[in-house]
Structure 1
């Protein structure tokens, strides 16, 4: 995506953007680090049925697939010559459309009332870096384009059931700060760490606490949380300089990724402690979502060129590909979100097809599971 959304970190002379970190992770191009504690599937791990929600537009360098506790999913789809946000609910996929002058819509989150937030732009090309980018909210009555913190661009990245929206926006001096907006009104600057110039909020819980990333004075990114409007530096895993929090649950626990002395690993932050969740086989790994039981989903490399979706639960990381029927033809590459019922929405690939969103639903016992097709 546009370089204005990259956030630079510094680690022993190495510069890395937060947006680039996610895109490199998805491509499996980080340096590899073999883990001696790689997960081994067990027969008592839960199993899942699969619902195919359809093909994704695949234009963004961030997670665009989200899930609520009712099992509804927001995702990006190709609609004519453009990219639109869509909502999958009760077995049907609905195109959420666009707004005048804003032909695209890339979703990033939805809440329990199926309010979807994300970003749109003023170009026919959804990845046109020269076009103005604006946050949007769609509460079922069409797309509403939001404002900014004084600069040109904004993106909405999270929303809770009260309609509180968080994201990132340019200021008039071209710095970028996290914002909060109640009900899609004016954006309020959430600020940054002392001495830092960048922050972004990726997720928000029912209490209004948010998780995200912010620069230190040395332009090194740290995972952060905002509680009652105040920013808190969560630090990093031992040996690491930088990281990012991508998800937060009702308890205020956060998940994301952090550099370590061995590479980049997924983490869970709970009760004031950051826990290294490890990797499936190789570095890197990143946590994209967690539920209120601290079950975590994300992605991890399994070879130099391949990544798989993972589920971390009760101290153990499992490859989600080992927890579905083996005759589906799908490879689950990233776990995007998990709800309190244990449902997981994943990005998956199949030879000769574009990426699809799949909804995994826990079942009572392992069996051969057919792939159900979502209705349009």
Structure 2
């Protein structure tokens, strides 16, 4: 059986004596429980096998730090998230072994299988760590907070690239907002407080416009004289420049005019159409109709009064005419 153990050691690549899992206290407590009480109880009849399994477990975990250093494998450091995933995988495997009553060869096979699965999981997680976490910046200076797998200490690591992150060309219509965006995708993941400083080139030299925590600079209602060259810097908590962007801004005038035409002025008094129910204004057609009706009524009344007066006077004069006629007699 010894040759199988050493074959496993070779497959895991574990000649070293330090590993990332030794930096996780929970994993180390579980490992001591596995190599102590559990193996002594399960392999009491085969002390040689128990000793070899204990050595295999110890050296396998420490040997994870000896994987080939490269872009897709391991760099000797690990972040807290990846460390938590590796530790969780190890604890699940050990717990599964201890919860079952494995004996002798079956126990040995389960331990071997678990160690091989642990190595594969660690390799895959470290490849993901390399792609997504470790130095993803293509430019600038990015600061990480990682766990050193050799010293088990949290330290700051700097990923240094060219500070210049390129040039952007912006075209803005006059009276629109001019927005300078200094943020890069890796800025948020870079460790520590950050600030941004914006410059404008005037007369061949740069002048500081603003410095603050915001990655955006907004100029309301851009004018033609806002055209020109700008630059922004991202600074870390120590004031070191971590990245810079250049901008070439062109403000285009409005078509046909250099300025936006003003709103037309309001000329003359404000007039509103009369409501439907309002009377006709004086002198309109409605006035003549009223006066015709009034005149006709008054004429008719005067005619009636004159007729009545004439009839009354006629009746008063008739007796006088009878007494004055010849041969007239007065009755007594």
Normalising TM by the smaller chain, what interval?
under 0.3
Larger radius of gyration: 2
Structure having greater relative contact order (Cα 8 Å, sep ≥ 6): 1
TM-score of the superposition, structure 2-length normalised?
Answer: 0.25
More strand by share: 1
TM-score of the superposition, structure 1-length normalised?
Answer: 0.23
